[in-house]
Structure 1
Amino acid sequence: MKIIPEQPTRLRLVPISKLAAAPKWQLETMRALREPLFLWITNGQGRITIGARTRGFHPHNAIFIPAGTLHGMQALTRVQGTAIYFGARHGLELPETALHLRLRDASQHAEVSQLVDYVQREVEGQRPKADQAAYHQLGLLAIWLDRHNAAHQGENAAEMTQLNANERLTARYAALLEREFGSSLNVTDYATALGVTPTHLTRACRASCGRTALDMIQTRRLYEARKLLMETDIPVQDIARNLGFSTPSYFSRAFSLQIGQPPSSYRKVHEAKPRLTH
């Protein structure tokens, strides 16, 4: 039985201010979605990590994150804009690599704002065939992304894909971790799979993103654990087993040490709160 629930498959638009107001753990923990994500930043600044590279973001930044791409975000000031979650069954031709476009021309700002606005009107208008119309508008956004990807190919390639040795190793580790975080693999297992020593892997992770390899494992598992405790009624022992913890008691100790309260208490505190987007 699949314990970890699938993420929503429908198109959703969420104010970035709402995402930025989420708990720090939910915003900053590195994780991957099963759907593409487009961020249009209109105000504020912060940092976003995509794969193994961290960059600052500012107003009029357009960021596209393909499905399955590990990412995390930190808001340094009040951030505003729109996040578009494409849904898992969008059927669109989208870039296969992440894009971070800093738009400097006012006409470009107006163009992308208009595209986002058109999608939002269809989603919120609830008119006949609204979903179909919204995805047609998303198709225009996909074309916009493709055109700007080509126009900024040199800049984007240099900043997003030309990683140093530590960043390349960390990116490989992050991708493997995202596939296997529900298993009982430890740092040694991951290092062996990547053909390096555990010490080398930990050093590379620390140099790339300021975190140890072990911290990345624990943080990713506990991120998923908190979501499952908040959003489902799956028993704690099943969550522990399906996230690779050897015993429920070990899971409870690790959770309590990191979060400050045991899993059962955490669930009771949050069970009346509305569910989060992702």
Structure 2
Amino acid sequence: MVPSGHLDRVLPNAASGPHVIDTITLCDLTPDAAWRRPVLLDRELIVLSTGGHGVAEVDFRAQPCRPGTLLRVRAGQVLRCPPPRLDATVVRWHPDALRGLDVDVHDVPTRVQLAGEDEDAVINEVSQLTVDVGRHQDVPAGRSLLRHQLTVLLLRLSMLPSESRRAGRPEEETFRRLCREVERGYQRTRRVEDYAERLGCSVRTLTRACLAVTGRSAKQVVDERVALQAGRLLAATDEPIARIGRQLGFTEPTNFGRFFTREVGVSPGAFRAAREQPAPSPVVRPRPPAEPAPILRSRPAVEAR
């Protein structure tokens, strides 16, 4: 097995650009060593813990980490790793970097504890990718090499056993389709009827699928996605609260405030004021296979309105 220290010694400086694949250390993601605030990510990440024990908060969800813990964190999510300090290697890429290659990052588990031969293989591949980032990133053949190396890493990870994977059911496919449509449209509409029309099914079908997979209605799933985005922006940016509300489709700040308070349990201002505090544990129910937006507090399921 490649020693974890090898990963840290060969890390290059962070690179930028829409198609760059690079590797950095966890602390390079923020200038604040204490991680007092979450970081809103604009690139896809694989985080491989190599030393220490602690917690990584992904979208306000506490993920315990120790050597061998691997996290997949998506662009648009918020990440915070408060002390005690974790040593970790971060593989980072733009969402378009793998365009045209036969890999789906959504097949990679969001968290896995590596062990045995799987851990050896992943560490070796991350180590080689890290070396080649430093040696070959500036030449066309090298960039192609990095794309294929990252594809191999993601394909290997996609084959690992995961607690979040369950036998497929028709309701799960409907639920996944809804989640994909919500990702595209949550800033424009929160009406389940609009999503049902786009998907060519009924509100009842969507609600039945959401209840089967998550225990929550379709309306709750949509509203929770909007509330999550609001929480991300409140915690990780200094955007005015009224502007955040407008970005999410609320023309009146009071309507946004009522919505957020109903969904989360505190006002937007109170949520922002508490953003430097560690996330409570647990903060959400276990995430179903299609990974809908986590919620910041539990509410009983109700029928879509």
Give the TM-score, by structure 2 length. Answer: 0.54
Residue number in structure 1 paired with 2:120 = 110
1:202 counterpart residue number: 207
2-side partners of 1:147 and 1:259: how far apart?
36
Q: Establish whether residue 223 from structure 1 lines up as the match of residue 228 from structure 2.
A: yes
1:251 aligns with 2:261: no
The separation in 2 between residues aligned to 1:226 and 1:147, in whole angstroms, is: 32
SS of corresponding position for 1:256: helix
**SS in structure 2 at match of 1:84:** strand
**Residue aligned with 2:91, SS:** strand
How far apart in 1 are the matches of 2:47 and 2:71? 5
- Please give the secondary structure, in 2, of the residue aligned with 1:189: helix
Alpha-carbon deviation of 1:132?
4.0
Distance 1:93 1:191, change over 3 A: closer
1:90 corresponds in structure 2 to 97
CA offset at residue 259 of structure 1? Answer: 3.1
Gaps of 5+ in 1: 1-7, 27-32, 45-58, 71-78, 274-278
**Letter matched to residue 175 of structure 2:** T
SS in 1 for 2:175: helix
> What letter is aligned with 2:170?
A
What's the % identity of the aligned pairs? 24
Check the 8 A contact 1:167/1:204 in 2, yes or no. yes
How far did residue 252 of structure 1 move? 0.3
CA deviation after TM superposition for structure 1 residue 223, in Å: 1.5
Deviations 1:107-159 (A, max 9, x none): x5323202223445677xxx7x7854996774453353477499x6xx99xx9
Conservation of the 8 A alpha-carbon contact between 2:196 and 2:203: yes
Alpha-carbon distance in 1 for matches of 2:50, 2:148:
20
Correspondent of 2:152 among 134, 138, 144: 144
Give the Å deviation of 1:251: 0.9
Contact 1:35 1:86 in 2 (8 A): yes
Partner of 2:58: none
More displaced 10-residue stretch of structure 1: 141-150 or 180-189: 141-150
SS in 2 for 1:110: helix
User: Is the Cα–Cα contact under 8 Å of residues 43 and 75 in structure 2 kept in the other structure?
Assistant: yes
Higher helix proportion: 1
Change in CA separation of 1:142 and 1:121 when aligned onto 2, cut-off 3 Å: closer
CA deviation string 1:146-204 (max 9, x = no partner)? 77499x6xx99xx9797321011111100000001111241122122222222221110
Task: Give the corresponding residue for 1:56.
Answer: none
Residue in 2 that maps onto 1:76: none
Contact 1:115 1:137 in 2 (8 A): no
Name the structure 2 match of 1:261.
266
Residues 87, 177 of structure 1: alpha-carbon distance in 2 compared, 3 angstrom cutoff: same
Counterpart Cα distance in 2 of 1:94 and 1:14: 26
Give the whole-Å Cα distance in 2 for the aligned partners of 1:256 and 1:146.
38
Pick from 180, 185, 189 the counterpart of residue 180 of structure 1.
Answer: 185
SS of equivalent to 1:270? coil
Aligned partners of 1:160, 1:34: CA distance in 2, in Å? 26
In 1, are the aligned partners of 2:132 and 2:146 still within 8 Å (CA)?
no
Contact conserved, 2:97 with 2:147, CA < 8 A, in 1? Answer: no
Q: In the superposition, relative to structure 1, how do residues 14 and 188 fare at CA in structure 2: closer, same or farther (>3 Å)?
A: farther
What corresponds to 2:107 in structure 1?
A: 99
Relative distance call for 1:99 and 1:196 in structure 2 (3 A) is closer
Q: Distance in 2 between matches of 1:61 and 1:234?
A: 33
After TM superposition, the score normalised by the length of structure 1 is 0.58
Give the stretch that moved more between structures: 113-122 or 212-221.
113-122
Q: Any conservation in 1 of the 2:260–2:268 contact (CA below 8 Å)?
A: yes
Q: Is the 8 A contact 1:61 1:100 kept in 2?
A: no
Task: Give the 3 Å change call, closer, same or farther, for CA 67–224 of structure 1 in structure 2.
Answer: closer
Aligned CA distance change for structure 1 residues 168 and 65 (closer, same or farther; 3 Å): farther
Q: Is the 8 A contact 2:207 2:218 kept in 1?
A: yes
Distance in 2 of aligned mates of 1:196 and 1:216: 17
Alignment equivalent of 1:239, drawn from 244, 247, 269: 244
Query: 5+ residue gaps in structure 2?
Result: 1-16, 30-34, 54-66, 78-85, 279-305
